[in-house]
Amino acid sequence: AIWMTQSPSLLSASTGDRVTISCRMSQGISSYLAWYQQKPGKAPELLIYAASTLQSGVPSRFSGSGSGTDFTLTISCLQSEDFATYYCQQYYSFPPTFGGGTKVEIK
Amino acid sequence: QVQLVESGGGLVKPGGSLRLSCAASGFTFSDYYMSWIRQAPGKGLEWVSYISSSGSTIYYADSVKGRFTISRDNAKNSLYLQMNSLRAEDTAVYYCARGLQSLPFFDYWGQGTLVTVSS
């Protein structure tokens, strides 16, 4: 299985901040990476796939970059509704695996 | 609009069985690969199982292989997960999710159903 290291696990930020979350793979996965947002008590929602393709309806302040083993999710200007937990997920090979999550909390 | 609605969760004793269902609507179910993904209380996401659109290709996580069986009924727009020999570590919210582009990443998720394995 491909292991993923997502960092940081906790990120304290203020509205308007630019935040970045990293995901590192144990082996190269080309661009087969997705990012999800999950709010408490809710199902995850797809934000980005193919490392940098924004899912329909997702605000443009979200962006993804990277390929191979190192990937980044950036929120350019944090809004109140963005305080949530974010997960990366590789789908290059089975089993698909998720990162441990990054909780973005209000500073 | 796309909807996925899970049912069948509940409290079961270790060693017991449970069958989860996921009712799909708002899209052509038979065109899409589907998966089950779970989340233990306060923990992260864990992919459980995957089934192709026709049901001919199936994968399982090692943690459930030999105990869980995924299936689908395209005529009923439904996905299933038969869970046998349940363990305490299977306690989680179970989500069904639709795969996009026939790949195992997920554009729509159900609201989840809680499975609790406890004596």
Per-residue pLDDT, averaged over B1-8, amounts to: 98
* β-sheet with B78-83: strand ranges across: B3-7, B18-25, B78-83, B68-73
List of chain A residues with pLDDT < 50? none
The one-letter code for the residue type at A28 is: G
The number of helices, as runs of H, and strands, as runs of E, in chain B is 0, 11
Residue A81, helix vs strand vs coil: helix
Q: Which residues in chain A are closer than 8 Å to B68, comparing Cβ atoms?
A: none
pLDDT at A14: 95
Tokens of A36: 């999800």
DSSP 8-state code for residue B29? G
pLDDT at B102: 85
CB contact under 8 A, A96 and B46: no
| Residue B79 C-alpha from the chain's centroid | 7
Asked if A65 and A74 touch (Cβ cutoff 8 Å), the reply is yes
Percent of chain B with pLDDT over 70: 100
Among B1, B34, B45, most A C-beta atoms within 10 A, so best to mutate, is: B45
Q: What is the largest CA-CA distance in chain B?
A: 41
